[in-house]
Structure formats: structure tokens, C-alpha cells
């Protein structure tokens, strides 16, 4: 296991993200490979405004929706930050967490971090980390489903069907918590929030080259929707209510009720 720090009970690698620091002849499409896994905690914190607040409060919100003897899903779990937050906050009887990611490198490291969490705290919810595609998942009855910055990596034409399956799996009283980067239909609003996001990354130590190369690496693999598109799609998938609970610049998190 690489060196890691414990911050507020979260095990995180301390390796800084320098992936796009040197000029590349050709910028390959972004992939969740071993190189990204090594620097992921630093990368996501310096790139996603509000990420630590969203992750910690996702656990707090989940505790309000968790129903006894049900599953809590962390879909696109990466290194398990959301899973760790669920385990810090949810106290309902008989709940267990299923974390799913299709990156083998992420899953391997996630299991190590969860083992570290197990060795530090007692009476944590049981957790299973599954390496697999969330599009092929056979859902069990669930009270909380977290899609924390994952839906944007799913092919747009697959998103509605996935949300339909999530909706079907949710038990009464449960919720989907969906966090995403947003795009905006109003051009001026889109340009302003994009510029402010660049300023956020700059303030977190990324150079212009890093910002530009990351942008071109990610543009083919990550396709953000607008808040209106999310709301319409969630309602079309069967959800009855969509409530935004957090937004920082062009990143937001929504609660969707079954």
C-alpha cells in the first residue's frame, strides 16, 4: 500500500497529481488506471469544488434515508470515499454497503483503504467491493444509492435505463443521491462558471498546461448534463421529487426520491 494520511477518519494517498504537468505530444483519453489511482484523492479534491463537503454530507444525508436491513450502494466508488462516509454516519440496523467500480486498479486500492478503516474503527457497516459495470448490476432492495460524479461517465443513451433500474431497486423512504458536474443552457452562465472553475483549479496549484491537457483528456469520456436535463430524466425514470441540496460553481448534488 502507498503512504497514506488519515484525514477526518478518511484514508487518503498523499501523492500529488502531476499527471498532466509535462507537455504531451498527444493527450490520450482519460482513464481510471493505476497512474490516476495513485493520485486520485489529490486530483479530485483539487478539481471538484465542494468535493470534501459533498462526500462528508452524503453520509449525513444517507443516514436520514437508510432503512433497516437494506443495501446502500456506492456506484462508481473509486477509492471508496463515499463508502467510508456511509460507514461513518449510517447507524440503521442490518444495513450493508455495496461499492461498485469497473476499474480494477480503483477496486484493489479501495479494498486496502476499507481494510485500514476497519482496523481503526469498530462496528462499521459490512462492505463488499465489487469490480464490475454498474450497467450490468443486478440490484438488491436498496435504501440509499449514491452516484457521486459517476453518471457523467456513463454513455448518455444508457443513463435513463440505469436510473430506471436504480428507481426500481429503491425501497420506500430511500433516496438516490446524485452528484454531477453541470453544463448550463445559458451560454453566458456556462462561460462564467467554466471560467470560475478554471480559477478554482489555478488556485489549487494547477498550471495552465495541466488544466488544458486535462480538459482535452476528459472531454471525450465525461459528458455533463444540465440541471434541467437531470431533473427531466430523473422524473422520466420514475422518481417523484428532485431536490438539489448542494452547488459549488458548476458542480451540484441532488436528492431524488422514489
Q: Which residues make up the interface to ligand GEK (CB under 6 A)?
A: 32, 44, 55, 76-78, 81-82, 100-103, 106, 133-135, 148-150, 153-154
Give whichever of 47 and 143 is closer to ligand GEK, judged by the CB atom: 47
Say if residue 170 is exposed, middle or buried (CB neighbours under 10 Å; 0-12, 13-18, 19+).
buried
Half-sphere exposure of 167 (CA within 13 A, CB side): 19
120, 6 Cβ separation under 8 angstroms: yes
DSSP 83: H
Give whichever of 65 and 251 is closer to ligand GEK, judged by the CB atom: 251
Neighbouring-strand partners of residue 246: 253
Task: Name every residue whose Cβ is closer than 8 Å to that of residue 155 and which is 6 or more positions away in sequence.
Answer: none
Give whichever of 73 and 239 is closer to ligand GEK, judged by the CB atom: 73
DSSP-based three-state secondary structure for 99: strand
Min dist. Cβ of residue 100 to ligand GEK (A): 6
Give whichever of 6 and 240 is closer to ligand GEK, judged by the CB atom: 6
Min dist. Cβ of residue 176 to ligand GEK (A): 13
Name the residue whose CB lies closest to ligand GEK: 76
Give whichever of 34 and 186 is closer to ligand GEK, judged by the CB atom: 34
Min dist. Cβ of residue 8 to ligand GEK (A): 15
What is the C-alpha separation between 159 and 152, in angstroms, rounded? 9
10, 52 Cβ separation under 8 angstroms: no
Min dist. Cβ of residue 2 to ligand GEK (A): 17
Min dist. Cβ of residue 81 to ligand GEK (A): 4
Amino acid at each position: 500500500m502507498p503512504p497514506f494520511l488519515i484525514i477526518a477518519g478518511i484514508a487518503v494517498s498523499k501523492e500529488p497529481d502531476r499527471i498532466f504537468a509535462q507537455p504531451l505530444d498527444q493527450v490520450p483519453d482519460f482513464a481510471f488506471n493505476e497512474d490516476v489511482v495513485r493520485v486520485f484523492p489529490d486530483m479530485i479534491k483539487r478539481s471538484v469544488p465542494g468535493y470534501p463537503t459533498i462526500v462528508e454530507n452524503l453520509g449525513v444525508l444517507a443516514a436520514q434515508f437508510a432503512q433497516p436491513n437494506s443495501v446502500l450502494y456506492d456506484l462508481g466508488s473509486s477509492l471508496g470515499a463515499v463508502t467510508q462516509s456511509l460507514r461513518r454516519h449510517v447507524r440503521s440496523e442490518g444495513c450493508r454497503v455495496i461499492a461498485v467500480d469497473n476499474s480494477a486498479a480503483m477496486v484493489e486500492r479501495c479494498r486496502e483503504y476499507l481494510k485500514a478503516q476497519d482496523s481503526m474503527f469498530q462496528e462499521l457497516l459490512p462492505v463488499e467491493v465489487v469490480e464490475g459495470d454498474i450497467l450490468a448490476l443486478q440490484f438488491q432492495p436498496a435504501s440509499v444509492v449514491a452516484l457521486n460524479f459517476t453518471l457523467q461517465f456513463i454513455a448518455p443513451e444508457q443513463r435513463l435505463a440505469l436510473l430506471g433500474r436504480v428507481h426500481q431497486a429503491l425501497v420506500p423512504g430511500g433516496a438516490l443521491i446524485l452528484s454531477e458536474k453541470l453544463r448550463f443552457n445559458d451560454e453566458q452562465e456556462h462561460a462564467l462558471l467554466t471560467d470560475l472553475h478554471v480559477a478554482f483549479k489555478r488556485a489549487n496549484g494547477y498550471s495552465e498546461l495541466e488544466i488544458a491537457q486535462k480538459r482535452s483528456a476528459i472531454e471525450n469520456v465525461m459528458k455533463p448534463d444540465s440541471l434541467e436535463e437531470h431533473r427531466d430524466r430523473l422524473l422520466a425514470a420514475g422518481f417523484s421529487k428532485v431536490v438539489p441540496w448542494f452547488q459549488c460553481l458548476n458542480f451540484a448534488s441532488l436528492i431524488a426520491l422514489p
